[in-house]
Structures are given as C-alpha cells and as structure tokens.
Amino acid sequence: MNHFESKFNLLVKKIKFVDVIINLSYLKNKSWGTNFLKLKSKDLKENLFLQLGTNIMISQKSINYFIKQGYGNLILFSSIQGVSAPKFSHYSNTKMSSPIEYSAVKAGIINMTKYLAKFCKGKKIRINCISPGGILDSQPISFVKKYRDSCLSKGLLSSDDLNGVVEFLVSNNSEFINGQNLIIDDGWTL
C-alpha cells in the first residue's frame, strides 16, 4: 500500500490532476493455489487481505483524492469467476487450479464497486468494474480447448480484447454508467 501511495503522490505532483484510476492489483502469497481441503487459515487471511484488502485501501486513497479534486473515475477489475463458479472440468489433467479465495475476492470486488458508487453519490465520482474472461497466457492446450468449448467463438481473450471497454469507461460516452460490472467473456458465463 505504501508503494501505491508514494507512486500516486509523485504522479499527482507531476501532472496535478488524475481523471481516472484503473486498479488491476493482484497480489498473492506463496501458498496461492492450495487445494481447498488443505487451505490454512493464516494463508487464507493473508491472501484475502492482499487481494481484497489492497483493493479496498487503493479505492479509499483514490476516492479521497477524487473528493478533494471534485471529480474522478475509478475502474476496478474483477473476473468472470466473481459472477460464476469455476468450470472445474477445464482444469482436469493440468497443474492449474482455481482457488476459492479467487472467486471470493472477485465477487467481493463486484459488490465493492456497487457499494462505492452509492457511497460517492453526489460527488461526481464514478466507480465501475470490468470482469474479463480468461486471458490467454501459456495455458495447457487441453485447458484452452475446453475453455473455448464453453465460449461462443474465440475462447480465451487477449489483453487487447479489453481495450475497447476500458476506453469506453474512461470516456465521457459512459458518463452515466456507475456502479456497474461489465462482463467481457465471449459468452463463458452463459
């Protein structure tokens, strides 16, 4: 958190105004990915704070700044697993997993978005969330194929596939979109 604050303070000194903050933070400890039945309390607490707690604290700092400035736009990132359970069959015969903390945190970010939008009512601050589908990143071919079968055309996305929705939320074209979770997933959640 101190790293965010120091970088943010340097940025504000340099450019004076910050119109939009996009939070993609995704911190985790070494136990990340532990099987649900073997999950330890201390690791769960640490990962929940690293992911959800950090999102809350960055949102707090951002909103405090926006209140002083008189306006702002905060965009958070969740995941399709914040709105839908994992498709565990996609992970079979791979070393990949879908930890329960991930789903819990991503659902929390979606609800946080709604909470913060209401909290900022009348302050000229917008808060929205993007929930992307899986991003192609060297996953095993068996996972890629199963994932694509759950989608409508492309399957796993590239990070560039999110550019349009980010550009839209940053622009004045989305002026009255507030407290929303936009799902970009090629139909995975259908």
Q: What is the spatial distance between Cα 66 and Cα 72, in angstroms, rounded to a whole number?
A: 5
102 is catalytic: yes
> Which listed residue (65, 71, 91, 102) is catalytic?
102
The closest alpha carbon to 115, from 71, 169, 61, 59, belongs to: 59
Q: What is the spatial distance between Cα 17 and Cα 125, in angstroms, rounded to a whole number?
A: 14
Q: Is the dihedral of CA 3, 135, 49, 114 positive or negative?
A: positive
Instruction: Check residue 26 and report its DSSP letter.
Output: -
Active site residues: 102
